[in-house]
Amino acid sequence: MFADRAKIIIRSGKGGDGHVSFRREKYVPNGGPDGGDGGKGGDVIFEIDKGASALSDYRHKRKFSATPGEEGKKRNCHGKNGEDLILKVPEGTVIKEAKSGKVIADMSGENSHVIVLEGGRGGLGNQHYATSTMQAPKYAQPGGEGIELEVLLELKVLADVGLVGFPNAGKSTLLSRVSNAKPEIASYPFTTLHPILGVVDTGDGKGFVMADIPGLIEGAADGVGLGHEFLRHIERTKVLVHMVDGASVDGRDPVEDIEAIQKELFRYSENLLKKPQIICVNKLDACTEDADEIIEKIRDRYEKDSTKVMPLSAVSGQGVNELIREIAKLLSEMDDAPYVYEQEYDPKEHVFEEEAFTVTVNSDGEFVVEGPKIEKMLGYTNLESEKGFLFFQKFIREQGIEAEMKKLGINEGDTVRMYGLVFEYYE
Ligand SMILES: Nc1nc2c(ncn2[C@@H]2O[C@H](COP(=O)(O)OP(=O)(O)OP(=O)(O)O)[C@@H](O)[C@H]2O)c(=O)[nH]1
Ligand SMILES: [Mg+2]
């Protein structure tokens, strides 16, 4: 099956912990601290793979993790950095945060290599914590946590032109005629099962990309048939080519067909109907009734500034060059940068959000400081030792906790509570 959507869990590597150790030398009983720093955790990076056209690699495996950094070692040895995890995706893959559906990165255009999750930083070894009064620090910094996130990968192909229409209208026949693509063509509906891109050479050194998607039927916007799944692939296109069987080969009425497709496009997204559209009245070679009459009828109803009606035969080639010229003209009047989705969600901010602290003043006028990061910090800091206490003070300042308490009006001598710890505040 063609995979153009996948939900996976990605995880960056945890940073390696800093190491606690002391030099050991013969006849030197108490060597100085020599605990090395931990290595940085691996990042999760997405990269465009120009050769890939589907997200099949992500269909059968759910979880993808970068490796953690190694712990620091004795003799000032730095732990090895974790390896980055590089996930290759086809161009046009949009990475979204699974719960909110917000865009993290759009792997299109310039964004060919994006670090989506950073690995945790390596912790500092105890050698960094020696001072003149604390020469044997037993504290080393733990490595930063890795980040885990569920993401949705959605492939929205990058094409300039999107081909839409009922099954059997002749979309694939047209694509095979004007481009290098070789889509399957058959006289039954739903021959095309997934989007196919073709490059159309316009002869002037330029060209454009045309996407053929499975035929749409009524209810497509609600998920009927195959079309709905694939409408997202034409969201980024600049021009829509709407094909209709003008010869009623399947006994359908062209005007009713056009109407039904327009309705589905509109229901999927109003933006689709805002794009310039060319209605191609196809299969002219097979018309038994008066072709001019059918074309006139369609022109009367649909032709306006943003919609052009063009007669065509994808099989005989009649009208095909005119169509390509018209598409090229429309595209030349438009901005040629591909549409790239903006970032709406930054995993880094999200982590900060989770780790943030709160300061509240209770009924006794005490300042209560809470938050998972503070709890963690207290867990690894020995406040009895001078070094530990200095570290604690620095933490309170650097995390902005002191500033927050000042904002709430703390004065010298006021009481501060933190997870069972009670002390008086002095600047
Ligand atoms: N006579 C005639 N037949 C055509 C023309 N264009 C396409 N056909 C035939 O119509 C049938 C369907 O063509 P396709 O190109 O597979 O149609 P499609 O729109 O891609 O269909 P789906 O992939 O099912 O959505 C085939 O048997 C084609 O040979 C045309 O201009 N004239
Ligand atoms: Mg087809």
Asked if residue 204 lies in contact with residue 243, where contact means CB atoms within 8 angstroms, the answer is no
**Residue-wise burial string across 138-169, b where 16 or more C-beta atoms lie within 10 A, e elsewhere:** ebbbbbbbbbebebbbbbbbbbbbbbbbbbbb
Q: What is the 169 CA–ligand 1 centroid distance (Å)?
A: 5
Q: What pLDDT is stored for residue 29 in this prediction?
A: 67
Token pair 């980040």 is at which residue?
147
Q: What are 164-177's pLDDT values in tens digits?
A: 999 999 999 999 99
Ligand that lies nearest to the alpha carbon of residue 283, given by its number in the listed order: 1
Q: What pLDDT is stored for residue 312 in this prediction?
A: 95
Residue stretches of the chain with pLDDT short of 70: 1-2, 28-29, 132-134, 224-228, 336, 351-356, 379-380
- For the entire predicted model, the pTM comes to 0.69
The best mutation among 191, 229, 252, 294 to test binding of ligand 1, ranked by most ligand atoms within 8 Å of the C-beta, falls on 191
Atom 2 (ligand 1): residue with closest C-alpha?
Answer: 283
Look at residue 178 and give its three-state secondary structure: helix
Domain covering 161-332: architecture: 3-Layer(aba) Sandwich (3.40)
In the CATH hierarchy, which top-level class contains the domain 356-424? alpha beta
Q: What pLDDT is stored for residue 387 in this prediction?
A: 80
Ligand 1 site residues, Cβ closer than 6 angstroms: 165, 167-173, 185-187, 189-192, 214-215, 282-283, 285-286, 313-315
Q: Where in the chain is the domain with CATH 3.40.50.300?
A: 161-332
Q: What is the 51 CA–ligand 2 centroid distance (Å)?
A: 22
| The domain over range 1-156 is classified in CATH as 2.70.210.12 | yes
Cα–Cα dist 133/144, whole Å? 28
Q: What is the 184 CA–ligand 2 centroid distance (Å)?
A: 7
Q: What pLDDT is stored for residue 134 in this prediction?
A: 67
Q: What pLDDT is stored for residue 137 in this prediction?
A: 76
Q: Where in the chain is the domain with CATH 3.30.300.350?
A: 356-424
Cα–Cα dist 207/179, whole Å? 10
Asked if residue 328 lies in contact with residue 208, where contact means CB atoms within 8 angstroms, the answer is yes
Q: What is the 313 CA–ligand 1 centroid distance (Å)?
A: 10
